[in-house]
Structure 1
């Protein structure tokens, strides 16, 4: 059995986009990693201006929105899974 090892250089974020439905990390190697925005309730509830106020953290493998206390690593997007308390929009409307 072979296990894929992730090289830390593969986790370098070069840009971020937050749309009405997705968070997208543009990676330094040209990949795009995206996840549903509802996975991150604080970011989902933030204003457009707050969503655009992000910074790549010092090691380059994570992004922070200090104003709303949200921090997301590239590894978290690759592995997948919603943040604690995240509720799919269809369920939230019930």
Structure 2
């Protein structure tokens, strides 16, 4: 069995883009890590202005939206971790 070992240097966030459907971390090494926005209900419910009001946290491996109390690490995006309570749009519409 192989275990994924992530070097901390691989977790450095350089930029963030939040659209109506996705969140994208652009990493310092050139990679893009993308996830559906519904994975993060607070960010999904935020206004476009609130979504643009992010900052890379001090260690460089996570991003915070202080106004809406949302913090997402690069590691969470890499391993595919949706926030507790996140529901796919089709399921949420039922």
TM-score interval (norm. to shorter): over 0.9
- Paired residues in the alignment total 94
Structure 1 stretches lacking a partner, 5+ long = none
The 5 Å alignment of 1:54-73 reads 54-73=54-73
Q: TM-score, normalised by structure 1?
A: 0.96
Which contiguous aligned blocks of 4+ residues in structure 1 show a shift greater than 3 angstroms? 1-4
Deviation at 1:39, TM superposition (A): 0.3
Distance 1:93 1:16 in 2: 28
Distance 2:4 2:71 in 1: 25
* Residues 60, 92 of structure 1: alpha-carbon distance in 2 compared, 3 angstrom cutoff: same
Note the alpha carbon deviations across 1:2-35, whole angstroms, 9 max, x for none: 4342110000000000011100000000000010
Aligned-residue RMSD, C-alpha: 0.9
Structure 2 stretches lacking a partner, 5+ long = none
Distance 1:5 1:92 in 2: 35
Deviation at 1:82, TM superposition (A): 1.3
Question: Is 1:29 the equivalent of 2:22?
Answer: no
Partner of 1:83: 83
